[in-house]
Every structure is written in C-alpha cells, then in structure tokens.
Amino acid sequence: MPKRDLRIVKRTPIALGICERCNLQFSSNQPAEDDAEAELWAEFDNHKCRSVDASPEQGKLVSADKTRDRLPKSA
C-alpha cells in the first residue's frame, strides 16, 4: 500500500494534484503557483483516504454488469 502523499501533476493554468494512496484528485484555480500549491495541500490535508478495497477495477466491473443488464436480449 503506498503511503499517503500528494503528487502535483500540473501547475498551470489549473493546478492538479492526486493522493498517491487513494487517487483522489484535487484542483485549484489560483493564478499564482505558490497559492495554488498551498490550496492543493490544504485540500489534501483535510481529506480522508477512501477504502483501499474500493479499487478502480471493481468499479469497472460493476458498471460493465449494469451495461449488460440494459442490453436487449436476443431471441
């Protein structure tokens, strides 16, 4: 399990960051890079990581099952 850390992906024009543990995304529209990074860190510090059990692969399987249920049944 990766440690809880903020990875800054993009700084301008919209700053983007991702929690390396739960992949939650953070964004800031602050024009100054220092202000934007401070806002990202504040959002990161205030968030709680989602359960590690809720992996993206599981979410894809659920949505695939829902799509299959909506398809018309062939005769």
DSSP assignment letter at 50:
P
Nearest Cα residue to 11 out of 25, 60, 23, 31:
31
Could you give the CA distance from residue 34 to residue 11 in angstroms, rounded to a whole number? Answer: 9
Tally Cβ neighbours within 10 Å of residue 28. Answer: 20
Q: Which residues pair with 24 in a beta bridge?
A: none
Each residue's pLDDT, cut to its tens digit, for the chain (75 residues) gives 567 889 989 887 889 999 999 999 999 988 888 899 999 999 999 999 976 554 454 443 333 334 344 444 454
Domain assignments of the chain as residue spans, ordered by start: 6-66
The answer to whether 54 and 62 have CB atoms below 8 angstroms apart is: no
Q: What is the pLDDT of residue 53?
A: 54
Can you tell me whether residue 68 is helix, strand or coil? helix
